[in-house]
Amino acid sequence: MATPAKEFAGGAGNTVIGPSILISGKLTGDEDLTVRGRVEGELTLTNTLIVEPSGVVKANVAVKNAIVSGVVVGNINATESVELTKEGRMVGDIHSPRVIIVDGASFRGRVDMGEVEPGRVPSERPARPLLRPAVRAVAPPKPAAPRPAEEKAKPAIKPVPPPPPPAARAEGKAPPAGAKPPVPPAPPLLAEAGKKKVVVKKKAK
Amino acid sequence: MAQGEQIGIIGKGITIKGSLTGAGDLVVEGRVEGQIALKNHLTIESTGKVQADIRAEELTINGEASGNIDASSKVAINASARVAGDVKAPRVVIEDGAVFNGSIEMEVKLPDDI
Amino acid sequence: MANTVIGSSIVIDGEISGDEDLVIQGTVKGKISLKESLFVEGSGVVEADIETQNVEIAGRVTGNIVASDKVELKTDCRVVGDIKAPRILIADGASFKGNVDMDIKER
């Protein structure tokens, strides 16, 4: 679908959130995402998240790779790697088979280098204070004879459904406006467009 | 003995159980189980295995360490290292390839509006 | 060139606000408030109320649009919702359903 040529070079497959932009809510996608502004809520990507020095991500994140040069507050699950560069600052837990923290980066939270299921957003639990005794000396108390399958299903699994292709949605189905998950409390927006939420339903053509 | 330039080495064949304190630098190529409290720099070489709570000024890990780590300046977990435990230090570096499980506590200066 | 681009595979469910141009090639549901221009490209799908200075729409928009300057509906776009702006352009081939309000109050 050709659009009239525009001056902006919207490089295919790369999304950029500019420095003045605030997104609050849920963001999913299959391409790289560069954050120079601010993203709050939940972020699920099958590719790489790049948080540039001006970028702030206050969200739970499920990605393939994350490169953090800005600020991340929240937990990151990455199926491949997480790198905090020398400007990176993060508070939260990292779950990824490869974790790289460069000198100069600052980090507070847990690191778990176990395998990660793709697309699984870390649970909402905020980064808790780290006041635990030694390593894995004490295993957490387990319920009597848990079967492995049960155990695995226990942590707050929140499978994120793959985004339906836009074309399929446009074919006349009304969007499930009622099924919208609550958006986390948003900070005051730049414009006080205090209007209602999306109410207009798509009519079947 | 308490000279800062002093370097102690715990060789490959040595196992120490108990607590280890000192003021000089220490290189561990063998095994230590217990506690380590050092005023200066502790290096765990790739052959070294330490199961101990560690306090030091600076810590460089190329081998294995499990236990809680408290360093007053820096902890470097190098590519060949395997570390489990909670780390507290102003600077913590994890190289690509290192295996680390546990928590890290550095001071993180966040923007005011977070 | 602080361009924000929401790529074609991206789905955002929530609110977007900002002071710069925004290009949407993907899907945005919720609300958009900008102080600059919004471009909804051919692949873009917006189910959101929009408040901005300018909007150019080549894709699909469902929601009410309030623009302080101009709304432009391009060929092949599909827009359902009410539009309020001092200047509104609807190209041949655009499809639009809703009310148009060009009331110029502050002039």
Tell me which of A130 and A36 has the higher pLDDT: A36
Tell me which of B104 and A11 has the higher pLDDT: B104
Chain-chain contact of C47 with A175 (C-beta, under 8 angstroms):
yes
Across chain A, how many H-helices and E-strands are there?
2, 12
Chain A within 8 Å of C53 (Cβ-Cβ)? no
Query: Of A15-29, A48-62, A137-151, C91-105, where does mean pLDDT reach its minimum?
Result: A137-151
Contact residues, A window 43-102, toward C, CB-based 8 Å cutoff: none
- The pLDDT tens digits for A70-84 are 999 999 999 999 999
Q: Which chain A residues touch C72 with a CB distance below 8 Å?
A: none
Where are the domains positioned within chain C?
A: 4-93
How high is the pLDDT of residue A137?
A: 39
Chain-chain contact of C34 with A191 (C-beta, under 8 angstroms):
yes
Tell me which of B7 and C79 has the higher pLDDT: C79
Nearest to A93 by CA among B102, B49, B112: B102
Domain assignment present for A96: yes
Chains that touch B (3 or more CB pairs under 8 A): A
Domain assignment present for A64: yes
Cβ-nearest to A113 among B92, B101, B105: B101
Name every residue whose Cβ is closer than 8 Å to that of residue A169 and which is 6 or more positions away in sequence.
Answer: A175, C27, C45
Measure in Å the smallest separation between the Cα of C105 and chain A Cα atoms. 18
Chain A within 8 Å of B99 (Cβ-Cβ)? yes
- The pLDDT tens digits for A107-166 are 999 999 988 888 888 875 544 444 444 444 333 444 444 444 444 444 444 444 444 444
- Whole-number percent of chain A with pLDDT over 90: 48
CA distance C43 to C57: 10
- Count Cα neighbours of A182 within 13 Å in the Cβ-side half-sphere: 2
User: At B80, is the secondary structure helix, strand, or coil?
Assistant: coil
Total structural domains in chain B? 1
Domain assignment present for B100: yes
Measure in Å the smallest separation between the Cα of B81 and chain A Cα atoms. 13
Chain A within 8 Å of B73 (Cβ-Cβ)? no
Domain assignment present for B25: yes
Domain assignment present for A78: yes
Chains that touch A (3 or more CB pairs under 8 A): B, C
Measure in Å the smallest separation between the Cα of C76 and chain A Cα atoms. 9
Most A CBs within 10 Å, among C6, C8, C9, C45, to test the A interface: C9
State the 10-residue block means of pLDDT for chain B, 114 residues long.
68 93 93 95 96 96 97 97 96 96 95 84
Domain assignment present for A167: no
Domain assignment present for B111: no
Domain assignment present for A88: yes
b/e for C47-58, b at 16 or more Cβ within 10 A?
A: bbbbbbebbbbb
How high is the pLDDT of residue A184?
A: 45
How high is the pLDDT of residue B10?
A: 93
- pTM, two decimals, is 0.75
How high is the pLDDT of residue A13?
A: 57
Neighbours of A62 (CB within 10 A): 28
CA distance A133 to A8: 54
User: Whole domain around residue A97: which residue ranges?
Assistant: 13-123
Using pLDDT thresholds of 50, 70 and 90, give the confidence band for residue C104: low
- The pLDDT tens digits for C4-49 are 999 999 999 999 999 999 999 999 999 999 999 999 999 999 999 9
Total structural domains in chain A? 1
Q: Looking at the DSSP assignment, which residues form a beta bridge with residue C80? A: C62, C97
Chain-chain contact of C51 with A26 (C-beta, under 8 angstroms):
no
Q: Which chain B residues touch A107 with a CB distance below 8 Å?
A: 92, 104, 106, 108
User: Whole domain around residue B22: which residue ranges?
Assistant: 7-105
Domain assignment present for B85: yes
Q: What mean pLDDT is predicted for residues A183-188?
A: 44
Q: What is the mean pLDDT of chain A?
A: 71
